[in-house]
Amino acid sequence: MDTTTKTAVVAGGTGGIGEGVVQAFLSAGYCVYVPVREKDPSERLKAFVHNPAGLRFLPADLGDDLAVLAMRDRILEEVPEIDAVVVSVGAGYWGYRLHKMPRTDWDDSIQDNLATHFNVQRVFIDQLRRQNSGTFITLVGPEAEHIRPDAGMVSIMAAAQKMMTRVLAEESSDTSVRVHAVTVHTTIHTRSRGENTNREWITARDLGEYVAALVAERVPGCDRALHDLKDHWQLQSILHPG
């Protein structure tokens, strides 16, 4: 690999939102590493991106801390440094009041939404600190700040992911590592949603472009931990000013 090629890790790159982030980094010329679980959705992602040459899949269940460590080591066998780490990982548990939530769903939600984020943060923030460079971004849904009845756990998990990222940002302020939580306040239009019926919605591709631009310090407020994307039009005005 060309030693000037930049490297991104997209945890959750196999997901509807994550694939837009993967595409944006590939378009910007990055080599992009995506962890895949046993149920291997890599073919679906390969079919989505225009230019899969820089795409690398590594087996890793993000809920397994040793697997995440092994993934980092495999990446560092191929590249000297990691420039960007983006986390778009999670699963929604809803359909009941919080006090009626089955205990098994509670445990699974903690595993899918928090243990995964913790494992990725622990391993990759440590690496970025060692390099004293790089950007770490967590993508957060609007539920972090709003409550919907019968979907309270989605809000609890999103709020916790956001606070974890704020803590990391605060604790990284003595380094050159940048940490951001990007909250998107609309539904994100992904492939699985079919046709985009709401023009306010931000698309996964546009969100990906924003993430790549934030890493490249091409959007306002790159020194801020918290970024809020309100709707399609606000995002377009940031990506294409004037």
Residues near ligand NAP, by CB under 6 A: 12, 14-18, 37, 41, 61-63, 88-91, 111-112, 116, 139-142, 184, 187-188, 190
User: Token digits for 10?
Assistant: 């997209």
DSSP 198: -
Nearest approach, Cβ of 86 to ligand NAP (angstroms)?
Answer: 11
Are residues 189 and 1 in contact, defined by beta-carbon separation less than 8 angstroms?
A: no
Residue 223 buriedness (CB in 10 A; 0-12 / 13-18 / 19+)? exposed
Least CB distance to ligand NAP at residue 58 (A): 12
Measured from the CB atom, the residue of 7 and 183 that comes closer to ligand NAP is: 183
The minimum distance between CB 33 and ligand NAP, in angstroms, equals 13
Residue closer to ligand NAP, measured from CB, 58 or 81? 58
What sign for the dihedral angle of Cα 180, 33, 18, 159?
A: negative
Nearest to ligand NAP of 129, 226 (CB atom): 226
Least distance to ligand NAP, CB of residue 156, Å? 12
Residue 109 C-alpha from the chain's centroid: 17
Rounded Cα distance, 28 and 48, in Å: 16
Quote the least distance from Cβ 1 to ligand NAP, whole Å: 24
- Supply the minimum distance, in Å, between the C-beta of residue 46 and ligand NAP: 13
How far is residue 131's CA from residue 139's CA, in Å, rounded to a whole number?
Answer: 23
At closest approach, how far in Å is the CB of 119 from ligand NAP?
9
Choose between 1 and 147: whose C-beta lies nearer to ligand NAP. 147
Residue whose CB is less far from ligand NAP, 17 or 55: 17
Q: Rounded to an integer, what distance in angstroms lies between the CA atom of residue 225 and that of residue 242?
A: 25
Q: Where would I find the H helices in the chain?
A: 18-27, 42-48, 65-78, 103-110, 116-131, 152-171, 204-215, 232-239
Of 12 and 208, CB closest to ligand NAP: 12
Q: Could you tell me if 199 and 232 are in contact, meaning their C-beta atoms sit under 8 angstroms apart?
A: yes
Q: What is the DSSP letter of 49?
A: -
- Residues 232, 186 contacting (CB under 8 angstroms): yes
Nearer to ligand NAP, 169 or 184 (CB): 184
